[in-house]
Amino acid sequence: MSAPVQNPQHGPIIGPGHTFRSVTDKISAVVLSRQPVAWFIGFGISFLLANLLLVSIANLLFRGIGIWGVNIPVGWGFDIINFVWWIGIGHAGTLISAILLLFRQEWRTSINRFAEAMTLFAVACAGLYPVLHLGRPWLAYWLFPIPNTMGIWPNFRSPLMWDVFAVSTYATVSMLFWFVGLIPDLATLRDRSQSRVGKVIYGTLAMGWRGAAKHWHRYETAYLLLAGLSTPLVVSVHTIVSFDFAVGVIPGWHATIFPPYFVAGAVFAGFAMVLTLSIPLRKLYGLEDFITQRHLNNMARVMLATGMVVAYGYLMEIFMAWYSGNTFESFMVLNRFFGPYWPLYWLLIVCNIGAPQFLWFKRVRANPLALFVVAMFVNVGMWLERFVIIVVSLSRDFLPSSWGIYHGTFWDWSTFIGTMGLFMSLLFLFIRFLPMISIFEMRTLVPEAEVKEDLV
Amino acid sequence: MSHTQDPTAESPTRLDWNTVRERLQQHTGRTYWRSLDELADSENFQSFLHAEFPQEASILSAVGRRQFLQLMGASMALAGLSACTRQPEEKIVPYVKAPEQIVPGEPLYFASAMPTPGGALGVLVESHMGRPTKVEGNPDHPTSLGATDVFTQASILDLYDPDRSQVVRSVDEIRPWASFVESFRGAVEAQRANQGRGLRILTETVTSPTLAEQLRQILTLFPEAKWHQYEPCNQDAALGASVQCFGEAVHTAYHFDKADVVVSLGGDFLAGPNAVRATKDFTRRRRPSEQDKLNRLYVVEPTPTLTGAIADHRLPLRQSDMEAFAHALGAAAGLPLTSPSIMAPHQPWIAAVAADLRKSGGRSIVIAGPEQPAAVHVVAHHLNHALGNVGTTVTYTESLDTSQTGHLNSLRNLVVEMDAGNVAVLVILGGNPVYTTPADLKFVDSLKKVALRVHLSGYDDETSRLCNWHIPAAHYLESWSDVRSQDGTISIIQPLIAPLYSGKTAHEVLALLTDPAERPSHDIVKDHWKVRHPGPDFDHFWRRILHDGSVPDTAFPTKSLTPNADALRALAAPGASSSLDLLIRADSHVFDGRYANNGWLQELPKPMTKLTWDNTALIAPATAERLGLQSQDVVELKLQDRSVRAPVWVLPGQAPDTVTVHLGYGRTRAGRVGNGAGFNAYLLQASGFPWNATGLEVHKTGEQQLLACTQDHSSMEGRDIIRTLTLDEYEHGHEGQEKHEEMSLYPAYPSEGYAWAMSIDLSACVGCNACTIACQAENNIPIVGREQVGKGREMHWIRVDRYFEGDVDNPSTHHQPVPCMQCENAPCEVVCPVNATVHSSEGLNDMVYNRCVGTKYCSNNCPYKVRRFNFFKWNDTETESLKLQRNPDVTVRSYGVMEKCTYCVQRINYRRIQAKKEDRKIRDGEIVTACQQVCPADAIVFGSLHDPKSRVSELREDKRNYALLEELNTRPRTTYLAALRNPNPELGGKGKA
């Protein structure tokens, strides 16, 4: 048996000693055998929090949006902050699955399934907010261009309108991509499931996959096409989300740098979340062989790179405020530095610029615990970034007479924490019922899959 | 949410006054600032952090629910938001005989008059299908000339207030009116035998000639009976001074339109219930015109007022120094007075004012406020005489106040007699003496000694509670009566609707004393006028005075009087005080407490503090620093044995060592809106001199109370928001106010039809808030309550911004009304995803409520923040009476939709229909928006820009014209005219003292 696939510079992307069988056994066992106690505890807590979300939504629909802290001038608060935050988190999934696939980055294999699932669930959480933040959520369908007898169309000039298309396209393509990638593994589970119910459900979802060469051929084509489709979405979604702000006139919003800066921020946040979730999971399910140090190292590098782009964005905002000579812009910057929300701004700088600097050090990148801490900082920092952009800018705009202060209420927090509960619940269910690492793709990484010259 | 907070839970950073001063000194040039917190750069962050953590949505708590009920009670709504619910079945019955004049959908206007404390305002009332919906000024009435004020606008809500008293009550029992009549007649018969020795009638200032005549008849029938008058905001000091000067109580009328120089000694003549005409006259001289030169106003006052805010020179002075100031000014102007030494620091100021007064050559006014002691009034009378003002700018007429000895004396006499057991029957017609009498009179104890106490009142209030009988009074919009305004002009009050709650008028109650049979007030009033105007043409006369809204030639004739020099000689040398002064003033909105249950008035931000729903103890920054106090700290105010607890509000411009409290709050039986708002300042009042006192003690309690302030959130530095020019700069050009070029990628709108636009003259605007409340009445705008205002969710479509400029101890104050700018390049329109806010061909930025889904994006993107959002269902759709109040031409908004100023599009369309029917264009000036119509300063002009001759087009050509934030290229259709100030060159500067 030859040595495992290995890049001498970066360490292995799969642990030593694995065969087709061991990979399949190991990953499918997570689904097909009994879950550890930690799963039940984790899912239980998450499910409770998801119920908090239901209570919050029911209360919101019953009493009105006034239960939140939004006011005039701060018309958007936790709702849009969380929307952008969740959408940002969703970015890593597509990036890993589509762009890294096209670039033939094999190391993506063990984390792509998982990152895609995370994307879907994050987009589901994000998708709740644009509906819930409406004064009249039951009319949300008016944002879609549905032909109607009154001949009223949405306003195609509005970035919120573009958001509808961007996010729904993104959700659809991500879903397809994820599902198509799952098909061979669903077939594996169908074959290995002991229970009748499992066989039927996995069998239905596997859509008759028999592993024929024709299947594989079509699968590869479809998967590649979907990857090509998804690639522009990585850039487009957050670009359009950034238009929500950049198109506005409010100082702190009205900036041309927003699209690239938002995209970089989204990838930054997405990788931070992948790290946040994968580090505990690989430990819990003993998957260190599949999600290796090399994976963690690579993800940390992406975070560092995108984090620097984000830092550049922050600096440019400050520079432009000075360079433009616009009093409103320079006040906006000073207000971030020293205004009523100054601690949040500086905390944001610490989290998003300060913390990632540790990733320059190999020792930090090699230490899962340290990486986890940095990732948590980035998760918080990216939330704060949206808080600063949305709330701090709105709270003090042009006329000081209408300046105000915003703070989240109980229901703001409960909705936010509730979506985290929903996200985690979905994730736990995903771990429980679907292979969180692509089995068939992992199999291509083991030494047996190497095409051996002498056999030909 | 608890009203008073545990101080440990939230303690905003303390303000460092030295920092404030230093920061101000560092600034060069014109700097505006809004809040002291901001100046000191102190942080609201602690409160933010605190509130970040769940305080729990307060609506769920018990207090919140009560508040919610209050809102329900006082705001407005419509029955028709029934997208998903079934309408209840109703029978629709057509008129068998259609009432005369009523055309469905067409409003009718009736002339009437609103009785004000001590006067009246001539009004035209809009009536839709028999229900009055809006009160406007009567252009033909000398008190109004078409404008009104906040009280008049809000009176329509009082009419429909579900908390108004609805039944006759005897102690705790609801009784029929007949039962009262029987019981009352019995008591009166007993009095008839002894000539009415035990009969007393207590009224407020009687302004109705018919009522005065009825009282005269009663006093003839019952020679031993007595009539007392008491009104808390009376003219005792002014009338007392006129007795000293002229030997008789006379009313002093000021003609501001003729005055070049006005000096106010603590006189806030631009505020209060009888200020419409004064504002109209005064502001006529605040804008440049070809006939008149700009007037100049000097104000010396202990507490900031609207009059002080518009002054060219303002001197904050302690109340205890006001007399000394009057002496010093008198001496400087040539009166035989000596200038007290304590006025030495102000001598250059005083000399400049005196010189200006003398230069004006009989075209000046020296006015003393009703809260000033008689001595100040005496000096003012003599100054006006010496300056030759009497007969031109100042005239004397008969006074409406017939109390002779003054209201407090009249009340004191009544208390003495009640204590002595001489009073068997006390009839209280209006007023609320249990609440409004100074605390030291112990009116309640005395009242209880009276056997039969009858109270006629619109609300079952504090006084009603302590009376044997409470009779619900009819609102002035449901009564027949007559009333005299301060200049003497009589108007007939005619009802617009039958009493909603079987209210009675004072005429009907008094008629029980004189007439064997009950008589409706219509007959009583008409019979009175039949006597006054006998002859065959009475019917014609009656119809004419009803139609015109005033009786011709009833204004009081001018009296020619010369002040008695002895009065001046008799003045004692003014003293000084080293302790804290307490000032008690009527509130700018709830006045003496009579309007406490009016949600519109409660939620109207007070002009100087922008506070709503509460009264406060106002103190100067320097005093706050010395006492270690901050805004919202609760203190105990102690004056001799009387004390109240009050939240502090630090107000720049307040005189040092002076605490101002306002009346009208702390009501216990006002109704659901007024109860529990603020503290009762009457508890500090002494009957000796009710307005001012010295020797106040202030004790910290360590507690804090959250106050709902609509605007004092932040500061402004260097932004070009309110432009102010001195007369000199205006006439000779000025620098630094560049014009921004207007650019657009879109083609220009075709210039046909109309292009609606508004011009707001900041020279004329006094900041009285009348526009805000007129808009509220016209556009069915709900109120939201203290808590929601505190969260920044007030709904006013036009707000009045207030900015301070300069020195923290004596800042210049600027007011700016801000409605929707109706931008041609509206940032709100682009961003709405559902096309709910769109541009009309005439330039209106239309809001389509039905289409709005409530993203709030439009509000976020509005640079002027004039959009308002229904965060909850604010409108009361349950209360029957409130359904009647609404303007049927304006949609009532439900929850989740955005709303904003529409330029009164319903009024535009009404006129458009009329013009189309007559096949003509809409004439300039034909469309009058609600804010424009109410404005007593005529600061707002509306019209079409496509008509080059329209007034608004002409004003746009004025060099004072500018657009707010025009550098954003929003191209607002609402533009401003820069404020003009006319400071005395000898005093230099930008108009500060």
ipTM confidence score:
0.90
Give the model's confidence band at B70: pLDDT under 50 very low, under 70 low, under 90 confident, else very high.
Answer: low
Give the model's confidence band at B779: pLDDT under 50 very low, under 70 low, under 90 confident, else very high.
Answer: very high
Query: Closest Cα partner for B861 from A162, A390, A142?
Result: A390
Tell me if residue B417 falls in helix, strand or coil. helix
pLDDT of residue A308: 92
Task: Report the amino acid identity of residue B80.
Answer: G
Give the model's confidence band at A282: pLDDT under 50 very low, under 70 low, under 90 confident, else very high.
Answer: confident
pLDDT at B460 over 50: yes
pLDDT of residue A38: 84
Beta strands in B16-150 (DSSP E): 32-33, 108-116, 119-128, 131-137
Task: Report the amino acid identity of residue B461.
Answer: D
User: Are B758 and B845 within 8 A, CB to CB?
Assistant: no
Residue recorded with tokens 């709005």: B852
% of chain B with per-residue pLDDT over 90:
33
- In sequence order, the 6+-apart residues with CB closer than 8 A to the CB of A268 are A88, A303, A306, A307, A309, A310, A352, A378, A382
pLDDT of residue B403: 75
User: φ and ψ at A99, to 5 degrees?
Assistant: -65, -45
Q: How many Å lie between the alpha carbon of A397 and the closest alpha carbon of chain B?
A: 7
Q: Which of A249, A403, A405 sits opposite B863 (nearest CB)?
A: A249
Average pLDDT of chain B? 84
Average pLDDT over residues A407-411: 91
Give CA–CA dist A155/A160, Å, rounded: 9
Burial category of B765 from C-beta neighbours within 10 Å (exposed 0-12, middle 13-18, buried 19 and up): buried
**Which of A399, A409, A413, A416 should we substitute to test contact with B (largest number of B Cβ atoms within 10 Å)?**
A399
Radius of gyration, alpha carbons of chain B: 28
Average pLDDT over residues B775-782: 93
Give the model's confidence band at B879: pLDDT under 50 very low, under 70 low, under 90 confident, else very high.
Answer: confident
pLDDT at A450 over 80: no
The residue that leads in pLDDT, A31 or B409, is: B409
User: Are B597 and B155 within 8 A, CB to CB?
Assistant: no
Q: Which two tokens stand for residue B789?
A: 């205002």
Q: Which two tokens stand for residue B210?
A: 């018919």
pLDDT of residue B798: 94
B80-84, B276-280, B702-706: the lowest-pLDDT one: B80-84
User: Are B453 and B160 within 8 A, CB to CB?
Assistant: no
Give the model's confidence band at B299: pLDDT under 50 very low, under 70 low, under 90 confident, else very high.
Answer: very high
Residues in chain B with CB shorter than 8 Å from the CB of A63 are 57, 59, 872
Predicted confidence (pLDDT) per residue in A128-171, tens digit:
999 999 999 999 999 888 888 888 889 999 999 998 998 898 88
Q: Which two tokens stand for residue B33?
A: 């600032």
Q: Which two tokens stand for residue A304?
A: 């560092």
pLDDT of residue B27: 52
Residues in chain B with CB shorter than 8 Å from the CB of A329 are none
pLDDT of residue A13: 67
**Which of A78, A141, A402 should we substitute to test contact with B (largest number of B Cβ atoms within 10 Å)?**
A402
Check CB contact under 8 Å for A399 and B818: yes
Average pLDDT over residues B769-777: 93
pLDDT of residue B221: 87
- In sequence order, the 6+-apart residues with CB closer than 8 A to the CB of A360 are A304
% of chain A with per-residue pLDDT over 70:
94
End-to-end CA distance of chain B: 43
Tell me if residue B112 falls in helix, strand or coil. strand
User: Are A88 and A244 within 8 A, CB to CB?
Assistant: no
Predicted confidence (pLDDT) per residue in B112-154, tens digit:
999 988 889 999 999 988 889 999 999 999 988 889 999 999 9
Residue recorded with tokens 């500061």: B715
The residue that leads in pLDDT, B741 or B419, is: B419
* Residue B215 half-sphere exposure toward CB, CA atoms < 13 A: 23
pLDDT of residue B619: 92
pLDDT at A55 over 90: yes
pLDDT of residue B88: 66
B646 DSSP β-pair partners: B635
Average pLDDT over residues B712-719: 64
The residue that leads in pLDDT, A8 or B523, is: B523
Q: How many Å lie between the alpha carbon of B426 and the closest alpha carbon of chain A?
A: 50
Give the model's confidence band at B20: pLDDT under 50 very low, under 70 low, under 90 confident, else very high.
Answer: low
Residues in chain A with CB shorter than 8 Å from the CB of B870 are 64, 135
Give the model's confidence band at B993: pLDDT under 50 very low, under 70 low, under 90 confident, else very high.
Answer: very low
Q: How many Å lie between the alpha carbon of B432 and the closest alpha carbon of chain A?
A: 38
Q: Which of B831, B856, B898 sits opposite A159 (nearest CB)?
A: B831
Closest residue in A to B49 (Cα–Cα): A407
Total beta-carbon pairs less than 8 A apart between chain A and chain B: 202
- In sequence order, the 6+-apart residues with CB closer than 8 A to the CB of B658 are B302, B303, B318, B319, B580, B581, B582, B583, B619, B620, B623
A132-136, B87-91, B752-756: the lowest-pLDDT one: B87-91
Query: Closest Cα partner for B80 from B744, B890, B714, B841?
Result: B890
Closest residue in B to A327 (Cα–Cα): B719
Give the model's confidence band at A422: pLDDT under 50 very low, under 70 low, under 90 confident, else very high.
Answer: very high
Strand order across the beta sheet in which B226-229 lies: B173-175, B168-170, B469-472, B452-457, B425-429, B199-203, B226-229
pLDDT at A26 over 70: yes
Check CB contact under 8 Å for B853 and A139: yes
Q: Which of A64, A250, A394 sits opposite B895 (nearest CB)?
A: A64
Give CA–CA dist B536/B538, Å, rounded: 6
pLDDT of residue A451: 61
End-to-end CA distance of chain A: 18
Closest residue in B to A162 (Cα–Cα): B833
A29-33, A221-225, B206-210, B376-380: the lowest-pLDDT one: A29-33
Predicted confidence (pLDDT) per residue in B546-595, tens digit:
898 889 888 889 988 888 888 788 777 777 777 888 999 999 999 988 99
pLDDT of residue B194: 86
Predicted confidence (pLDDT) per residue in A179-195, tens digit:
988 898 888 888 888 88
pLDDT at A456 over 50: no
% of chain B with per-residue pLDDT over 70:
88
Q: How many Å lie between the alpha carbon of A250 and the closest alpha carbon of chain B?
A: 6
DSSP per residue over B261-278, as a string? EEEEES--TTSSTT-HHH
Average pLDDT over residues B241-267: 89
